């Protein structure tokens, strides 16, 4: 299997654009900005409704990357469906924004909220606050905040940033979550090496 360790530094240096999950206010957007600024570079972060929808438009010259995270429900699909085109070249741990349960206003009692929206990843947090609420899943934490603010649901699980942006009332704060983020390069030397390595390996556990 080719050694990606020595290829990683030049591969990372080539990345000038990161595509990730939007709309504004997601943990992934924050992490993408962190990745650039921690390297003293100007962020060029482009947001998409889902990570899957970002993949077809990625250039294959090694200058564009996709940022995902370990709890993204379809991360395995992104990796194996795009084997040979995307290669995981970096990962890092960074706390998320505070994860919160929020509503449009301070009533009714949080436990009595009837309808809640959430991204699939943190959906179990809903039952800690509102055990009987009807739950509907959306594409991101920020999308959940926007749907709640629009009146499509009474409550949501979202980030503190998205809740503040949408003028929501935070009813319970679960705090930040230490999160693993994964960076995937489209094309370039890393994807070529990843494909070659995959061809010589058995199935992943």
pLDDT tens digits along 171-188: 999 999 999 999 999 885
- Domain boundary assignment for the chain: 5-95+178-199, 99-175
pLDDT band of 193, cuts 50, 70, 90: low
89 alpha-carbon distance from chain centroid: 17
| Closest CA relative to residue 78, chosen from 7, 179, 182, 1 | 182
Q: What is the rounded distance in angstroms from the CA atom of residue 186 to the CA atom of residue 165?
A: 32
Tell me the C-alpha to C-alpha distance, in Å, between residue 104 and each of 108, 125, 155: 10, 18, 7
In this predicted model, what pLDDT tens digit does every residue of 29-40 receive, in sequence order?
999 999 999 999
Q: Which CATH superfamily is domain 99-175 in?
A: Periplasmic binding protein-like II (3.40.190.10)
The pLDDT value recorded for residue 188 is: 59
| Closest CA relative to residue 151, chosen from 112, 117, 177 | 117
| Separation of first and last alpha carbons in the chain | 17
- Establish whether domains 5-95+178-199 and 99-175 are of one fold: yes
* C-alpha dihedral, 61 to 187 to 49 to 45, nearest 10°: -50
What lies within 8 Å, CB to CB, of 117 at 6+ separation is 135, 136, 137, 138, 143, 144, 147, 148, 152, 153, 155, 156, 157
Q: Is the pLDDT of residue 161 over 50?
A: yes
In this structure, which topology does domain 5-95+178-199 adopt according to CATH? D-Maltodextrin-Binding Protein; domain 2 (3.40.190)
Q: Is the pLDDT of residue 202 over 60?
A: no
Exposed (0-12), middle (13-18) or buried (19+): which is 197, by Cβ within 10 Å?
middle
Residue 46 backbone phi and psi in degrees, to 5:
-120, 130
| Closest CA relative to residue 45, chosen from 75, 15, 11, 70 | 15
């Amino acid at each position: 299997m080719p050694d990606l360790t020595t290829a990683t530094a030049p591969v990372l240096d080539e990345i000038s654009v990161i595509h990730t999950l939007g709309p504004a206010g997601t943990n992934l957007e924050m992490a993408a900005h962190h990745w650039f600024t921690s390297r003293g570079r100007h962020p060029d972060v482009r947001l998409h409704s889902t990570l899957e929808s970002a993949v077809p438009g990625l250039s294959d010259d090694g200058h564009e990357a996709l940022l995902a995270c370990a709890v993204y429900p379809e991360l395995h699909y992104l990796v194996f469906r795009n084997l040979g085109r995307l290669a995981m070249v970096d990962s890092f741990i960074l706390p998320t924004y505070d994860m919160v349960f929020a509503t449009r206003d301070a009533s009714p009692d949080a436990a009595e909220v009837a309808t809640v929206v959430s991204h699939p990843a943190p959906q179990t947090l809903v039952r800690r606050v509102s055990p009987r609420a009807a739950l509907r899943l959306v594409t991101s934490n920020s999308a959940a905040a926007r749907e709640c603010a629009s009146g499509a649901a009474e409550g949501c699980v979202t980030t503190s940033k998205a809740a503040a942006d949408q003028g929501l009332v935070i009813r319970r704060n679960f705090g930040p979550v230490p999160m693993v983020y994964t960076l995937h390069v489209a094309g370039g030397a890393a994807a070529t090496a990843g494909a070659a390595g995959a061809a010589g390996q058995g199935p992943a556990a």
